[in-house]
Structure 1
Amino acid sequence: MDIKTASSLHRLRLVSAPEAVSFLLLLVCSVLKRTTDFNAVPVMGAVHGVLFILYVLFWLDAWNRTKWSFGTAALYFILSVLPFGGFYAERKLKREATDAVAAAQVSAEGVKA
């Protein structure tokens, strides 16, 4: 993988954990809205919406650059809509991005030699 591919994986990884946290906070806000007078759903919904859109855009970019199979791409998308899926995706993407950076460095060193 080249460095642009590694960058796309890194961007997706960086947005996956905040997107997961915002999803969990939105769920908590939804429960609080129905059980108390506290209503932060409009604000938290907007924050989560922006983070989810970023996740989807970065997911599409990563899928395009990495040439993931449909199954792998679908897994990362499904993880974005599961409450704790973003945390798992972040760990998995971290490993994949680290491997991509290492491969890019080895490739660059091979070209220089």
Structure 2
Amino acid sequence: MKLLRIISILEGTSLLLLLFIAVPLKRLLDMPEYVSMVGPVHGGLFILFNMLLVLSVARYGVSSKHALMGFVASLVPFGSYVFKAKVLSKYE
């Protein structure tokens, strides 16, 4: 569970970096290289986070409802932070 908490923060941070720094740099200043760097990192963290959610259902008794909430939270800016604080804290 500790790994899931860490990855949730990293995934949320990578999404924020992508949406609020890399994409604006690409669109406003014609600097696409930042999206090329941050995008794959975020993609990997997104996949890892959701794989850990599925494993947590089987291994740690995380409910399917909470896992679905985690998936939806990973799609929304700041969602991973809220998910970690509100849901993952119940599984300590």
TM-score by length of 1: 0.71
What is aligned with 2:13? 21
- Measured after TM superposition, the shift of residue 22 of structure 1 is 0.3
Q: Give the total of aligned pairs.
A: 89
Asked which structure has the greater CA Rg, the reply is 1
Residues 28-84 of structure 1: CA distance to partner in whole angstroms, max 9, x if unpaired? 211220110322101100110111111011111111223444322211111111111
2:2 is matched by which residue type in structure 1? H
Distance 2:45 2:63 in 1: 24
Instruction: Using the aligned pairs only, state the percent identity.
Output: 36
Of residues 34, 45, 48, the one that matches 2:27 is 34
Do structure 1's residue 49 and structure 2's residue 34 form an aligned pair?
no
Using the size of structure 2 for normalisation, the TM-score is 0.85
The CA distance in 2 between the partners of 1:71 and 1:26, in whole Å, is 28
Two-structure CA RMSD over aligned residues (Å) = 1.5
Does the Cα contact within 8 Å between 1:14 and 1:90 map onto a contact in 2?
no
Please tell me the residue identity of whatever aligns with 2:82: Y
CA contact (8 A) 1:23 1:83 kept: yes
